[in-house]
Amino acid sequence: MASFIQTIFGSKYPNTSKYEADIEKLSVDHKRFVDYESSSQFKRFQELDTTVNSGDFKKKVEKLKTEKFKDSKEHLRLKEYLSLKKSGDLKKYFKYYNAGIPERLIKIANSKNFNEYSDLKLFLDSPEFKEEKSKKGFKKTENYKKFKHFRSLRRNADIRFYNKQINSTNYKNYLNIKDSERLVSFTTLKQEVESDKFQAFKKELEDPKRFKKSEEYALLSEYAEIKKTPEFIWHSKTEKQNPFKEIDKWKLTFEDDFDSKSINNEKWISGYYWGKALMNDVYVLANEHQFFTEKNIQLRNSTASLLTKNEKIKGKVWNETLGFVPKEFNYSSALISTGQSFRQLYGKFEVKVKIDHASPLTHAFWMVGENIAPQIDIFRFSKNAKSYTAGCHSADKNHKTAHQISTVNGAKFDSDYYVYGLEWTKNSLKWTVNGVKVHEQTSNIPQEPMYLTLSSHLLEDVEKLNSAAIEIDWVRCYQEN
């Protein structure tokens, strides 16, 4: 019932203009999509996407965000240094050392007076001197003079200072620390923690804005900015919807938009292929009551019209007994074919056509190879413009013909342009109108390259026929990628 109502009041197929507009928009969007994927911005996004989502990068970011100086081994080294710096023995050592006392003691120890004092002390401590000192008359001896000189030297300020220091606890502490591992450790730590490298590391880890100053933050910011751009947002949304399956599926192999002043003879011939191939002339079959002429192919406003007219015209008819026989016809018509320029096995074949019908004329868009069969009718209008037949004619080894055809209706096909299509694979044939499937065949599928033909035929002898035409906007063929 729905189909009946649609047939009377409208079409069950999408509006052709909208259908084409949708295809055009899809084509424009596809170009936009492909162009964006070739853009420097998208390439940069891909580089950043690989970088920022790598495990190594994520670890660096996490480290930048969470790493603290107090948790580092450097912090432990600093604590060890500060602990040593505060220790009493080291503080005393450096106070003693920085006061210059060890240096003064060395200077005193190397002086003439101290050397003389040391030699005299050594002599005065000897048993010989002690024995002589206990005898009468000692004060008159030379050794007494030495004794008095020793006592004089002992009162010297430097020697008194020296003797006082070497017996002090501070000097003993100095000696204990001077060549110790403890001092070596402290000195090493001091050099380390006071180095520019250590201070820079400490300053960086204690900087609350450390992450925002990092290269990783800059890369993440650039990545985020790209993701906010309208073109990227559109691309991402479109990629999820994946609307380009059909476009990506097909590669254009043949096209004519009929924009030239006359028919393109490099693409089309204006008669049956075998007539052009065998004698470079036009003929019709014995059951046809019209004759084809290139004059009936008119190109205007990017449209090719195949006209049928009431007029006398002379031509040739193929007769199986006599061969090509001259004949005068009452009607002229037109045919265009790619028999000499383009043939294809499998693919998608489409034509945008408006039918100006006059019964019992037959308008057809069909495909054939080297033989009469198999033949594919993409559309064949004969009775009226409200329905047409679509199907395939095949022949077996004994040349017995099988016809698998279906009647298609659902629109007034003479009221507007419609896009008639065929999708041909190894295992199926699918016919469409404005993208809607109207017939499918999965047996007796042709397996040879075929060429395209658009034609108008008169298969009945009639007294008068109204003028009629096939108006062709474009023809396109595609090969599956």
From first to last of its 481 residues, the chain has per-residue pLDDT tens of 334 334 334 578 999 999 999 999 999 999 999 999 999 999 999 999 999 999 999 999 999 999 999 999 999 999 999 999 999 999 999 999 999 999 999 999 999 999 999 999 999 999 999 888 888 888 888 999 999 999 999 999 999 999 999 999 999 999 999 999 999 999 999 999 999 999 999 999 999 999 999 999 999 999 999 999 999 999 999 999 999 988 889 999 999 999 999 999 999 999 999 999 888 999 999 999 999 999 999 999 999 999 999 999 999 999 888 889 999 999 999 999 999 999 999 999 999 999 998 889 999 999 999 998 999 999 999 989 999 999 999 987 777 788 999 999 999 999 999 999 999 999 999 999 999 999 999 999 999 999 999 999 999 988 888 889 999 999 999 999 8
pLDDT at 455: 97
Give me 282's structure tokens. Answer: 């036009």
pLDDT at 49: 97
pLDDT at 1: 34
pLDDT at 108: 95
Q: In the sheet where 375-381 sits, what is the strand order?
A: 335-337, 451-458, 361-368, 375-381, 388-395, 401-408
pLDDT at 6: 41
CA distance linking residue 292 with residue 314, whole number of Å: 10
Angle between helices 196-205 and 181-193 (to 10 degrees): 60
pLDDT at 278: 86
The hierarchical CATH code for the domain 253-480 is 2.60.120.200
Domain boundaries, the chain: 253-480
pLDDT at 383: 87
CA distance linking residue 188 with residue 210, whole number of Å: 28
CA distance linking residue 296 with residue 179, whole number of Å: 117
- Per the document, the length of the chain is 481
β-bridge mates for residue 430, sequence order: 423, 440
